[in-house]
């Protein structure tokens, strides 16, 4: 018997979407029913027609447009309208997993940016590159820094070191992706300030600059940070840091974590260590511009000046005895609020002392006894690690036990005085200066503790006269 | 060549280039399909661009339960519906020609044959444009993408039976409009 089948089955037959029973039925009908046969032929012809529709290509730069938009969407969030559309669009297919996705991915991006920056810091610190690298996040493309142009030809003239440098730049770029070499400063020809010795041929300059999001770019306002000595407006933070923590870039990691823009040029800092005697204040105020930009002072004058500083300023530190010991200076700009947060974080792990220099000097003039009684670093107003009830970092070696006890006693007295100045002297000082919302320049002086033997501390009464007979080792 | 899962994993790890590879892999295929769905080259580009951006932003929500392309297609398709609700584009003759694409010129083809071929292509596209959106979507997914009924149902959130019936209705409508051409071709 000739059985009429639904035409829908013929359509599905072309697509191979029939059950075995349906297929048997259709094939039987096709054998017996000319109408079904004709329909099958027509639908097959239609299928061929549709398949023959010419294919088009999107615009040539279409892929790049998409990627640019996607990156922008990640950084800024999709536009309101399109965001609503997207949420509406995806929800029916996969409900319940949409709510936190943009935030999650943003966090992922931030985390990977921070991780990349940290990895780069690790790379740069372990190398002896003299390049100055710029660390920037993806959303801060406009950041520019003018390198000391005179340095570039000097580097180019030294082919051996240039080759070496290129290799390191390449690895840095591979690791971080967002790093660009900024400047090459060869200081070989320069005399070292303070000792009159020629800079060792292999002396190299390395620096790190990090900027995050909408943070003020330290380089944007000219030589505001890391380019000149601290002014009386600068806040100076002293951090006693162990050799181990220093090698692990503990402070820099904290800065990265807190997304604080900073400049760091360890070779410029290392210049400081070539001098016999230094006070913390002179370290903090040191000119950190590239050597080429400095006016090189006569060695005798420099020594005389240092001696004078050591006398006038009550606090000085032990002479550097280990090349990697001594000081490193990080410069940055931060608002009072940001700085307070940073200091709290730092003081959780290190012994931290700070002073807004100008204000501290003022305080000392107004109440010289209070300042003198503290016996601490001139201008010291707050010792955050102590204020937060943390035990100060033990100073291995260095002074005798009696001296250390005296230091502790003096610190306790200082702590009591600081307690009286609560709440948060740092904030009050900034507010008094009307700088609560304004980014101010900050210098972080890392006082690196030698791993054994000699020790340098931010001791309240530390004052180890320099021994002129002992010459420091030259940096490599 | 890395597979989709690897590219997705790399993208989530912060490698934008991996997502670029995904875009390159699927943009052509998606574009042609949405050229038929939206009937406008400009609209198709906009929809796809938006879809890729949304896919990038929401990539961490992709669980791998379906193929990445299916997931991407679903985003694009829902976006196109959403956009269409907001504005009703008017298909011009130029737009139709854009959608039809440019067939390679056969230098040995007689002028009258070429005119005839172009006329048939126009008829096909007019017939496609005349289809109801939901019918055209099902037909495009089947004929252009070659998706099975189950996948089409997954993308459009329809049971497979509905996909089959809509597909049949779409074909029959085209069959009615193009009967002359089809018979001519088959004879």
Q: Which of B45, B60, B175 sits opposite A46 (nearest CB)?
A: B175
Task: Report the gap between the CA of B105 and the closest CA in chain A (Å).
Answer: 12
Ramachandran angles phi, psi of A297, nearest 5°: -90, 160
Higher pLDDT, A129 or A292: A292
Whether A55 has its CB under 8 Å from any CB of chain B: the answer is yes
- Kind and range of the H or E run holding B1: none
Q: Chain B partners of A18 at a C-beta cutoff of 8 Å?
A: none
User: A69 vs B143: CB contact, 8 Å cut-off?
Assistant: no
The answer to whether B21 contacts chain A (CB < 8 Å) is no
Chain A and chain B share a number of CB contacts under 8 A equal to 175
- pLDDT, one tens digit per residue, over A298-314 is 455 555 555 555 555 44
Q: Does this complex have an ipTM over 0.90?
A: no
Q: How far is A46 from chain B (nearest CA, A)?
A: 7
Closest residue in B to A76 (Cα–Cα):
B57
- Closest in B16, B168, B185 to A67, CB measured: B16
- Report the pLDDT value the prediction gives residue A306, as an integer from 0 to 100: 58
Which range in A69-78, A214-223, A395-404, B156-165 is most confidently predicted, on average pLDDT? Answer: B156-165
Kindly tell me if the per-residue pLDDT of A246 is higher than 50. Answer: yes
Calculate helix-pair angle for B16-38, B93-100, nearest 10 degrees.
Answer: 130
- Overall average pLDDT of the A323-331 stretch: 65
Instruction: Tell me the nearest-neighbour CA distance from B164 into chain A, angstroms.
Output: 7
Of the partner residues A39, A46, A71, the one whose CB lies closest to the CB of residue B178? A46
Are A159 and A227 spatial neighbours (Cβ–Cβ below 8 Å)?
A: no
| Span A86-107, pLDDT tens digits | 333 333 333 333 333 444 455 5
- Residues with Cβ within 8 Å of A365's Cβ and at least 6 positions away in sequence, in order, are none
| Residues of A (15-34) whose Cβ lies below 8 Å from B | 15, 17
In this complex, is the C-beta atom of B129 within 8 Å of any C-beta atom belonging to chain A? no
State whether the Cα torsion A308-A311-A314-A320 is positive or negative.
positive
As a whole number of angstroms, the distance between CA B160 and CA B165 comes to: 9
For chain B, the structural domain boundaries read 1-89, 109-187
Pick the CATH number of B1-89 from 1.10.10.10, 1.10.1740.10, 3.60.15.10, 1.10.3720.10: 1.10.1740.10
Same fold, B1-89 and B109-187: no
Residue B176 sits at the chain A interface (C-beta within 8 Å): no
Q: Measured at the alpha carbon of residue A136, what is the angle toward residues A131 and A141, in degrees to the nearest 5?
A: 115
Residues A102, B57: C-beta atoms closer than 8 Å: yes
Query: Quick check: B168 and A8 CB within 8 A?
Result: yes
Q: How far is A22 from chain B (nearest CA, A)?
A: 13
Q: Does A469 touch chain B (CB under 8 A)?
A: no
Mean pLDDT along residues B108-121: 73
Domains of chain A: which residue ranges? 8-49, 191-200+207-449
- Considering only CB atoms, which chain A residues are within 8 Å of B59? 105
**Measuring CA to CA, how many Å separate A290 from each of A151, A172, A416, B47?**
9, 22, 42, 53
Mean pLDDT value of segment B101-113: 61
Q: How confident is the model at residue A380 (pLDDT cuts 50, 70, 90)?
A: very low
- The arrangement of strands across the sheet holding A207-211 comes to A179-184, A131-136, A207-211, A262-264, A326-334, A440-449, A235-242, A351-356
What pLDDT does residue A127 have? 42
Q: What is the mean pLDDT of residues B39-67?
A: 88
Is there a contact between A7 and B168 if contact means CB atoms under 8 Å apart? yes
B157 contact residues in A (CB cutoff 8 A): 92-93
Question: Which CATH architecture describes the domain B109-187?
Answer: Orthogonal Bundle (1.10)
A330 bridge partner residues: A264, A444
Name the band, by pLDDT with cuts 50, 70 and 90, for residue A196.
Answer: very low
Optimal mutation site among A35, A57, A105, interface B, most CBs of chain B within 10 A: A105
Q: From the list B36, B45, B101, which residue is nearest A58 (CB)?
A: B45
- Chain A CB contacts of B165 below 8 Å: 8
Residue in chain B nearest A97 by alpha carbon: B61
Q: B96: distance to nearest CA of chain A, Å? A: 12
Average pLDDT over chain A, rounded to an integer:
55
Please, what is the Cα angle at A274 between A270 and A276, to 5 degrees?
135
Mean pLDDT of A176-183: 30
Mean pLDDT of A331-335: 80
Q: Which of A115-124, A441-450, B7-16 has the lowest mean pLDDT?
A: A115-124
pLDDT at B100: 52
Tell whether B165 lies on the interface with A, counting CB pairs under 8 A. Answer: yes
Question: How far apart, in whole angstroms, are the C-alpha atoms of residue A417 and residue A412?
Answer: 9
Mean pLDDT lowest for which of A63-67, A268-272, B106-110? A268-272
| Mean pLDDT across A309-326 | 46
Contact B75 A82 (CB under 8 A): no
Contact B182 A101 (CB under 8 A): no
- Nearest Cα to Cα of residue A356 among A215, A237, A229: A237
Residue A119 touches partner B, C-beta closer than 8 Å: no
Contact B44, B38 (CB under 8 A): yes
Q: Quick: pLDDT tens for A393-433.
A: 344 444 445 555 666 666 666 666 555 444 343 343 344 44
Asked if B179 has any chain A CB less than 8 Å from its own CB, the reply is yes
Contact yes or no for A288/A328 (Cβ under 8 A)? no
Q: A41: which chain B residues are within 8 Å (Cβ-Cβ)?
A: 186
Q: Are A85 and B102 within 8 A, CB to CB?
A: no
The most confident of A282-291, A311-320, A396-405, by mean pLDDT: A282-291
> In terms of pTM, does the model score above 0.95?
no
Residue B105 near chain A (CB below 8 Å): no
Instruction: With CB atoms and an 8 Å threshold, state whether B174 touches A46.
Output: yes
Q: What is the 3-state secondary structure (H, E, C) of chain A?
A: CCCCCCHHHHHHHHHCCCCHHHHHHHHHHHHHCHHHHHHHHHHHHHHHHHHCCCCCCCCCCHHHHHHHHHHHHHHHCCCHHHHHHHHHHHCCCCCCCCCCHHHHHHHHHHHHHHHHHHHHHHHHHHCCCCEEEEEECCCCCCCCCCCCCCHHHHHHCCHHHHHHHHHHHHHHHHHHCCEEEEEECCCCCCECCCCCCECCCCCCCCEEEEECCCCCCCCCCCCCCCCCCCCCCCEEEEEEEEHHHHHCCHHHHHHHHCCCCEEECHHHHHHHCCCCCCCHHHHHCCCCCCHHHCCCCCHHHHHHHHHHHHHHCCCCCCCCCCCCCEEEEEEEEECHHHHHHHHHHHHCCCEEEEEEHHHHHHHHHHCHHHHHHHCCCCCCCECHHHHCCCCCCCCCCCCCHHHHHHHHHHHHHHHHHHHHCCCCHHHHHHHHCCCCCCCEEEEEEEEEECCCCCCCCCCCCCCCCCCCCCCCCCCC
Per-residue pLDDT tens for B5-50?
A: 999 999 898 888 888 889 988 988 889 888 888 888 888 888 999 9
Report whether pLDDT(A361) > 80.
Answer: no
B5 or A252, which is more confident: B5
Q: Which residues of A touch B61 (CB under 8 A)?
A: 90, 94, 97-98, 101
């Amino acid at each position: 018997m000739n059985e009429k089948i639904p035409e829908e089955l013929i359509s599905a037959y072309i697509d191979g979407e029939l059950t075995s029973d349906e297929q048997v039925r259709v094939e039987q009908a096709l054998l017996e029913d000319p109408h079904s046969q004709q329909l099958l032929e027509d639908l097959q012809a239609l299928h061929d027609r549709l398949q023959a529709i010419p294919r088009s290509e999107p615009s040539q730069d279409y892929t790049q447009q998409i990627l640019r938009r996607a990156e922008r969407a990640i950084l800024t969030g999709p536009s309101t309208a399109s965001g609503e559309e997207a949420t509406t669009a995806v929800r029916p297919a996969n409900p319940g997993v949409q709510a936190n996705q943009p935030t999650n991915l943003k966090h992922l991006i931030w985390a990977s940016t921070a991780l990349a920056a940290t990895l780069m810091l690790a790379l740069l610190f372990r190398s002896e590159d003299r390049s100055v690298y710029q660390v920037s996040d993806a959303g801060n493309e406009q950041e520019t820094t003018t390198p000391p142009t005179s340095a570039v030809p000097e580097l180019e003239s030294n082919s051996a070191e240039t080759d070496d440098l290129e290799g390191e730049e390449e690895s840095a770029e591979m690791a971080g992706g967002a790093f660009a070499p900024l400047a090459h400063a060869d200081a070989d020809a320069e005399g070292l300030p303070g000792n009159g010795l020629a800079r060792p041929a292999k002396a190299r300059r390395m620096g790190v600059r990090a900027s995050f999001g909408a943070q003020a770019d330290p380089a944007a306002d000219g030589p505001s940070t890391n380019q000149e000595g601290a002014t009386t407006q600068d806040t100076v933070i002293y951090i006693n840091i162990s050799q181990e923590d220093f090698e692990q870039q503990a402070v820099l990691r904290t800065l990265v974590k807190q997304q604080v823009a900073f400049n760091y040029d360890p070779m410029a800092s290392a210049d400081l260590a070539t001098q016999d005697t230094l006070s913390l204040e002179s370290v903090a105020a040191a000119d950190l511009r590239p050597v080429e930009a400095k006016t090189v002072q006569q060695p005798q004058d420099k020594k005389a000046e240092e001696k004078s500083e050591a006398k006038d300023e009550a606090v000085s530190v032990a002479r550097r005895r280990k090349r990697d010991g001594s000081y490193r200076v990080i410069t940055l700009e931060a608002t009072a609020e940001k700085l307070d947060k940073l200091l709290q974080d730092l003081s959780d792990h290190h012994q931290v002392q700070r002073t807004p220099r100008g204000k501290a000097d003022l305080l000392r003039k107004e109440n010289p006894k209070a300042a003198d009684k503290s016996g601490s670093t001139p201008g010291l107003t707050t010792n955050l690690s102590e204020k937060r009830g943390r035990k100060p970092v033990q100073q291995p070696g260095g002074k005798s036990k009696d001296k250390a006890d005296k230091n502790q006693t003096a610190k306790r007295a200082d702590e009591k005085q600081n307690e009286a100045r609560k709440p948060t002297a740092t904030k009050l000082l900034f507010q008094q200066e009307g700088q609560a919302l304004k980014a101010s320049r900050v210098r972080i002086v890392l006082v690196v503790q030698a791993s054994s033997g000699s020790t340098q501390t931010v001791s309240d009464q530390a004052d180890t006269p320099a021994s002129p007979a002992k010459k420091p080792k030259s940096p490599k | 060549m890395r597979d989709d899962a690897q590219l997705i994993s790399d993208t989530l790890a912060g490698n934008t280039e991996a997502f670029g590879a995904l875009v390159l892999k699927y943009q052509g295929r998606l574009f042609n399909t949405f050229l038929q769905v939206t009937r406008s080259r400009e609209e198709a580009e906009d929809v796809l661009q938006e879809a890729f951006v949304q896919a990038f932003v929401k990539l961490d929500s992709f669980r791998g339960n379906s193929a990445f392309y299916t997931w991407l297609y679903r985003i694009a398709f829902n976006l196109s519906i959403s956009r269409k609700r907001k504005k009703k584009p008017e298909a011009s003759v130029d737009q139709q020609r854009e959608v039809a694409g440019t067939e390679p010129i056969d230098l040995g083809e007689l002028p009258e044959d070429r005119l005839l071929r172009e006329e048939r292509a126009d008829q096909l596209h007019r017939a496609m444009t005349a289809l109801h959106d939901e019918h055209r979507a099902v037909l495009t997914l089947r004929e252009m993408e070659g998706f099975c009924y189950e996948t089409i149902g997954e993308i459009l959130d329809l049971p497979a039976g509905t996909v089959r019936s809509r597909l049949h209705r779409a074909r029959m409508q085209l069959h009615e409009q193009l009967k002359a051409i089809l018979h001519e071709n088959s004879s």
